[in-house]
Amino acid sequence: MSALAGNYTYYITAFLLAIGLYGMIGKKNLLKKLIGMNIFQTAIFLFFIHGAVKPGTTVPVLDSRIGMDAAAYINPLPHVLILTAIVVSVATTGVALALLITIYRRYGSLEETTILERMKQSS
Amino acid sequence: MSWYTAIVLALFFGLLVYAESDLPDSRDTSAPARTHIASRYIEQTYADTRTPNIVTSVLADYRGYDTLGETVVILTAGLAVILILPRKDRRR
Amino acid sequence: MRERLENPVVEGVSKFLVPFMQIFALYVITHGHYGPGGGFQGGVILAASMMLLRLSLGEEYEHRRFSPTAATFVAAVGILIYALAGLVPMAFGGRFLDYAYLPIPGLSSAELRYHGILIVESGVGLVVWGTLVTLFDHLLGSEA
């Protein structure tokens, strides 16, 4: 039970990952799949950021009243990874939306089954 | 949702919970992810770079090569959108 | 979303707000050494100010002031600044991205790395700004 009290946020993050995965594989609309991918990415960010927190410590900006003790600041490395990952996810969503606009103009719909039917008819 | 989607999601969630029970306790301060290189970055960043913000000094100085790669990824995404969707009112 | 809104309240508020947003974005980029912030965050705020002007004042007027080609050019200049900050130390005896060998006279090695971080963060801010404004213009601007 003490393992549950120490790690409960990891289980909540796993639940968000499952919700994002359901959006990607269980829905038939292409825009809903894209939103599922964004939920998945957000859950990964939360997982990393929570892995960096220690109890009783403060943000990783050196404070002259605390000094340079390594046990008084949280781990800065996951923050570094997630900073660039957030902006990369925005750019990736932009490219995915451009592809969705092109697909809509070519086939007239954003539903997966309708697009596959029209692809079979046109070939 | 159909039943095979539910089975796949339940398997995925069960596998993640089983793997995450092996992670160190989040209140543990001697976990290896927190002691090896993170403490070296915290202790030496002011002597090496005179920057109080540890995240900026790690991002731009100690791990500057990774930041260069990620910036190139962002620029590539912008160039890909220009090629997929050109604007229609370009002045010749 | 491309035409002018013709609504005086929206136009007045956005014209009033945009200079403060841009100065705050420059503050966030340059104060990345002393508090939370840095290149990525400041670049996103700059791009948001441009998007606010494009949404409220219309495309024809704003594209004469800052065209989509200029946004892509700004992004390319940003990555060039980052690459030059990596290549110039190689000509002066250091390795790639080794800021301690930058040719600025009269500074110690730690202060040279401080200024190297500032140059690199402003390059990253320009790349993020240019790319987000390019994405916005091309997603809205290609007609069927």
Domain ranges of chain C: 8-141
pLDDT at B30: 67
Q: pTM above the 0.80 mark?
A: yes
Residue-wise pLDDT for A60-113, tens only, equals 888 888 877 777 888 888 999 999 899 899 999 999 999 999 999 999 999 999
Provide the H-helix boundaries in chain A: 2-26, 30-50, 77-107, 112-122
- Are C104 and C112 a contacting pair, CB within 8 Å? yes
Residue-wise pLDDT for A15-26, tens only, equals 999 999 999 999
Q: Count other C-beta atoms under 10 Å from residue A105's C-beta.
A: 12
Is a pLDDT exceeding 80 seen at residue B13?
A: yes
C131 contacts on A by Cβ (under 8 Å): 91
Token pair listed for C139: 């997603």
Distance, in Å, from the CA atom of A81 to the CA atom of C103, rounded to the nearest integer, reads 30
Of B49, B61, B71, the CB nearest to C82: B71
- Calculate Rg over the CA atoms of chain C: 18
Is a pLDDT exceeding 50 seen at residue B92?
A: no
Residue A84 exposure: Cα atoms within 13 Å on the Cβ side: 25
Chains with 3 or more CB pairs closer than 8 angstroms to C? Answer: A, B
B31 vs A28 pLDDT, higher one: A28
Contacts of B32 (CB under 8 A, 6+ apart): none
Contacts of A87 (CB under 8 A, 6+ apart): B70, B74, C40, C43, C44, C128
Q: Count other C-beta atoms under 10 Å from residue B59's C-beta.
A: 29
Kindly report the backbone phi and psi dihedral angles of residue B63, in degrees, each rounded to the nearest multiple of 5, phi listed first. Answer: -120, 45
Q: How far is CA A100 from the centre of its chain?
A: 20
Q: How far is residue C127 from each of residues B8, B26, C35, C77, C124, measured CA to CA in Å?
A: 40, 36, 21, 8, 5
Provide the H-helix boundaries in C1-144: 8-30, 39-57, 59-65, 68-91, 109-141
Categorize the per-residue pLDDT at C144 as very low, low, confident or very high, splitting at 50, 70 and 90.
low
Contact B20 A88 (CB under 8 A): no
Categorize the per-residue pLDDT at B7 as very low, low, confident or very high, splitting at 50, 70 and 90.
very high
C36 contacts on A by Cβ (under 8 Å): 59, 61
Kindly report the backbone phi and psi dihedral angles of residue C104, in degrees, each rounded to the nearest multiple of 5, phi listed first. Answer: -105, 120
pLDDT at A96: 95
CB of C38 less than 8 A from some CB of A: yes
**Long-range pairs, C19-26, Cβ under 8 A, ≥24:** C21/C45, C21/C46, C21/C48, C21/C49, C21/C52, C22/C46, C22/C49, C25/C49, C25/C125
- Are A43 and A13 a contacting pair, CB within 8 Å? yes
| Structural domains counted in chain B | 1
Average pLDDT over residues C21-43: 93
Q: How far is residue A73 from each of residues B60, B62, B67, measured CA to CA in Å?
A: 19, 18, 23
Distance, in Å, from the CA atom of A81 to the CA atom of A69, rounded to the nearest integer, reads 23
Of C79, C120, C127, the CB nearest to B60: C120
pLDDT at B32: 66
pLDDT at B90: 53
Per DSSP, the three-state class of A111 is strand
Identity at A62, one-letter amino acid code: L
B78 contacts on A by Cβ (under 8 Å): 91, 94
- This complex has an ipTM of 0.88
- Domain span at residue B65? 32-86
Token pair listed for B90: 């370009």
Residue-wise pLDDT for B45-61, tens only, equals 888 888 899 999 999 99
Q: Which domains does chain A have, with CATH numbers?
A: 2-122 (1.10.287.3510)
Distance, in Å, from the CA atom of C109 to the CA atom of C87, rounded to the nearest integer, reads 17
C72 contacts on B by Cβ (under 8 Å): 78-79, 82
Which segment of A60-74, C10-24, C58-72 scores lowest on mean pLDDT? A60-74
Provide the H-helix boundaries in chain B: 3-20, 32-35, 37-49, 54-57, 64-84
